[in-house]
A and B are shown apart, each in its own frame.
Chain A
Amino acid sequence: DVKVTQSSRYLVKRTGEKVFLECVQDMDHENMFWYRQDPGLGLRLIYFSYDVKMKEKGDIPEGYSVSREKKERFSLILESASTNQTSMYLCASWGGRVLTSPLHFGNGTRLTVT
């Protein structure tokens, strides 16, 4: 089974701090994603990466950046955390060749910015 591991389950950070959220997958998948989950809004795509050092903006990239130096690791960076970035962050990977291949999700990181 594919395993997607997010390094932190809960994080509490202060406004203005630089925050790193880490995600590792063990199935050699090419595509990885960062989503943000908020009540009533479902999941919204922040960034995705389709290869090492390759990235593409999703629907809500403002205030975020990403890093993919190795195929198995995809990091989400909050350059200067703000309270409106308090949310659940979900990482996912995809190695499918057809559109019906599912995403594999990590358990999420719940970030609180105070």
Chain B
Amino acid sequence: AQSVTQLDSHVSVSEGTPVLLRCNYSSSYSPSLFWYVQHPNKGLQLLLKYTSAATLVKGINGFEAEFKKSETSFHLTKPSAHMSDAAEYFCVVSDQGSGNTGKLIFGQGTTLQVKP
């Protein structure tokens, strides 16, 4: 069975400081991993995805994530937080057990607070 665990339900950082949102996955397949972001009162938007072409994945708005198979992790980072980064972030894995359907398995979400 596949699953993702986001290790922090809430992260608070000061503007200009680094962001780290942690995610561990479990998969018997070679996983397809994503990070989605949800700003208040909005739908989810794709931030970045791991395609197995490179272990360090760059996304929008300066975010990046590193796939570490040995640690089964896919942590999201950003060198310097902006106020506009305040949102909820979801680590997601494709449900490969159901075939090629687009079904996803979501983590519980991490709320990022950015303080001025």
Bound form: Cα–Cα A49–B43 in Å: 20
Bound form: Cα–Cα A40–B108 in Å: 5
Residue numbers in A under 8 Å from B109 (CB-CB): 40, 42
Flag B48-77 by CB within 8 Å of A: 1 or 0 each: 011100000000000000000000000000
Binds B, one of A14-22, A60-68, A70-78, A99-107: A99-107
Q: Are A94 and B43 in contact (CB under 8 A)?
A: no
Q: Are A108 and B49 in contact (CB under 8 A)?
A: no
Residue numbers in B under 8 Å from A107 (CB-CB): 41-43
Q: Closest CB-CB distance, A17 to chain B, in whole Å?
A: 24
Q: Are B102 and A103 in contact (CB under 8 A)?
A: yes
Q: Closest CB-CB distance, B10 to chain A, in whole Å?
A: 10
Q: Closest CB-CB distance, B25 to chain A, in whole Å?
A: 14
8 Å CB contact of A99 from B44, B90, B100, B106: B100
Given contacts A42-B90, A98-B100, A100-B51, contact A105 B45 (CB under 8 A): yes
Q: Are B108 and A42 in contact (CB under 8 A)?
A: yes
Closest-by-CB residue of A relative to B4 is A42
Bound form: Cα–Cα A100–B49 in Å: 7
Number of residues from B at the complex interface, CB < 8 A: 24
Residue numbers in A under 8 Å from B9 (CB-CB): 40
Given contacts A42-B90, A90-B44, A100-B51, contact A48 B103 (CB under 8 A): yes
Closest-by-CB residue of A relative to B108 is A42
Q: Closest CB-CB distance, B3 to chain A, in whole Å?
A: 11
Residue numbers in A under 8 Å from B94 (CB-CB): 99-100
Given contacts A90-B44, A108-B43, contact A103 B104 (CB under 8 A): yes
Bound form: Cα–Cα A50–B90 in Å: 24
Flag A73-113 by CB within 8 Å of B: 1 or 0 each: 00000000000000000101010111111110111100000
Given contacts A40-B9, A42-B108, A102-B46, contact A94 B90 (CB under 8 A): no
Please list 14 pairs of residues, one from A and one from B, whose beta carbons are closer than 8 Å in the complex, sorted by A's number. Answer: A31-B102, A33-B102, A35-B106, A40-B9, A42-B108, A90-B43, A96-B102, A97-B100, A100-B94, A101-B102, A105-B44, A105-B45, A106-B43, A108-B42
Residues of B within 8 A of A (CB): 9, 32, 34, 41-46, 49-51, 90, 94, 96, 100-104, 106-109
